[in-house]
Structure 1
């Protein structure tokens, strides 16, 4: 059984931010199974519930949807596949607090993020 979760990611240490940056974060709402994997069936049943928000200082917040695409997951500002931006490669990576994920930023750079919290959504 899946449960919808609100997942907060904060920028992990990088060359530009050696201590990370809690002000650079993402909030994702996704259904996770007991092993922390994205439940694609639950997401497909309620696709508009699978959301992602990007919070970045000095930039407008970005909001949209998390979609399954060939080769991974993508972010779209609309519920369709008009403006897909590759985001995640989570096919075999569980989402667990304290773990790290690499996300592709809108400019194409790949940055590490730490999963700082997972709550019921």
Structure 2
């Protein structure tokens, strides 16, 4: 089943309180455990979209892709331009992490700098958004 997932930047040296102005909105298939579902992704890959929002930068729109290689035999990535190599952001072992509110995931930017994000919201596609945007 497809879900809308919201990630906010977790606490770090640069952002001691974390940041709701830095993160991602991802539409992706999750299984019952809250893990990315590769089989469902194959059936719904056109709907697996990503929006990266970063304070003082324009939003970036991309797609969630699954590629062979990497830890565990495959890598989940965000691809902003499928006609250009090198603009991708790789998730760190996203196949093993649970996208459940309160959990943490790591994504490397295109310069391979890792950032940790907290899952702040997960809801099935089609469910109404709360008034506060979460």
**TM-score (normalizing by structure 2):** 0.81
**C-alpha distance in structure 2 between counterparts of 1:45 and 1:24, whole Å:** 30
The structure-2 alpha-carbon separation of the partners of 1:86 and 1:4, relative to structure 1 and needing over 3 Å to count, comes to same
Correspondences of 1:71-82 after superposition (within 5 Å): 71=70, 72-78=75-81, 80=82, 82=84
How far residue 51 of structure 1 moved from its aligned partner, in angstroms, is: 1.1
Q: Which segments of 5 or more consecutive residues in structure 2 lack a partner in the other structure? A: 126-134
Name the residue aligned to 1:92: 96
Higher mean C-alpha deviation, range 7-16 or range 41-50: 41-50
Deviations 1:52-81 (A, max 9, x none): 110011111101101001221111124x47
User: Equivalent of 1:10, from 8, 11, 21?
Assistant: 8
Aligned positions, number: 118
For the residue of structure 2 that corresponds to 1:6, the secondary structure is strand
Bigger strand fraction: 1
Name the residue aligned to 2:57: 59
**TM-score (normalizing by structure 1):** 0.90
Deviations 1:10-42 (A, max 9, x none): 000010110001100100100101011111111
Q: Which segments of 5 or more consecutive residues in structure 1 lack a partner in the other structure? A: none
Task: Say yes or no: does 1:120 pair with 2:118.
Answer: no
Moved over 6 A (4+): none
**C-alpha distance in structure 2 between counterparts of 1:66 and 1:90, whole Å:** 11
**C-alpha distance in structure 1 between counterparts of 2:14 and 2:89, whole Å:** 23
Name the residue aligned to 1:102: 106
